[in-house]
Amino acid sequence: MNAHATMIMAVPAAVALLGGILAAFWKPGHQTRSLIQHFAAGVVLAALAVELLPEIEREHAPGWVLAGSFALGSLFMYGLKLWTLRLEHQAAASGSASASGQGLLMATFIDVATDGFIIGAGFAAGGETGTILALGLSVELLFLGLALVSDRMTGWRIVAISGALGVTVLGFAVLGNILLTGASHALIGGALAFSAAALLYLVTEELLMEAHTVEEKPFSTLVLFGGFLAFWGIQLAGR
């Protein structure tokens, strides 16, 4: 793994920490957070459509490998959601707000570790895939700290947790790159197909679901497309 790849992998980690610092001093309103989540969803959709899916095609892996890996990724994210809901229900039944917060935080770390592995798989695939995915997921990580703000978690505790999330995403990006570098086209294609399912879950079941919990403004849709266009425009400019 070269120094350039390591530096790019470190970008999401630094951005996650920056998001925590931002959250320590700024707590946006519900409408602002909704717009931020729409923009982030557009960026992640662009990373999926513009870079990840074409790269999966370029790997020329067997169709059954790609379909099976996508299904496995879907089941993994579905299982993560069921586990999170179970923790929430157990905490509600026991009346323990701290237990609920700890469960959600653990699920967040698993989600971020998955994001890191996705970035590592992108770098193992070669080309600009790793860089594109690192930049796209950085948008999510930037505002992750804002999503963690609550009555129980504020101030510098947010910064510390965001720093730990940054270390997690970097560590799993390096691990994914090490494990998949030099791997067969089928294995890399399968890893990227698994990643595609995880990103699709991120957009539909996290970013947009959370964004829709408040009454939306009509221009929220334009913000979603704006995020897509901003990312795609950067990719087009780099040709």
pTM value is 0.80
What token pair was written down for 104? 């959600």
The larger pLDDT score, comparing residue 225 to residue 130, is at 225
pLDDT score of 75 more than 90:
yes
Q: CA nearest 36: which of 119, 142, 115?
A: 142
236: left (phi over 0), alpha (psi -120 to 50) or beta: alpha
The C-alpha torsion from 199 through 181 and 167 to 42, rounded to 10°, is: -20
| Interhelix angle 3-25/156-180, nearest 10 degrees | 160
Close Cβ partners of 217 (under 8 Å, ≥ 6 residues apart) = 31, 35
pLDDT of residue 67: 94
Distances in whole angstroms, Cα of residue 221 to Cα of each of 13, 100, 211, 225: 29, 32, 11, 6
Which amino acid appears at position 116 of this protein? G
User: pLDDT by residue (tens digit) across 137-179?
Assistant: 887 787 766 666 554 566 778 888 888 989 999 999 999 999 9
What's residue 96's pLDDT? 57
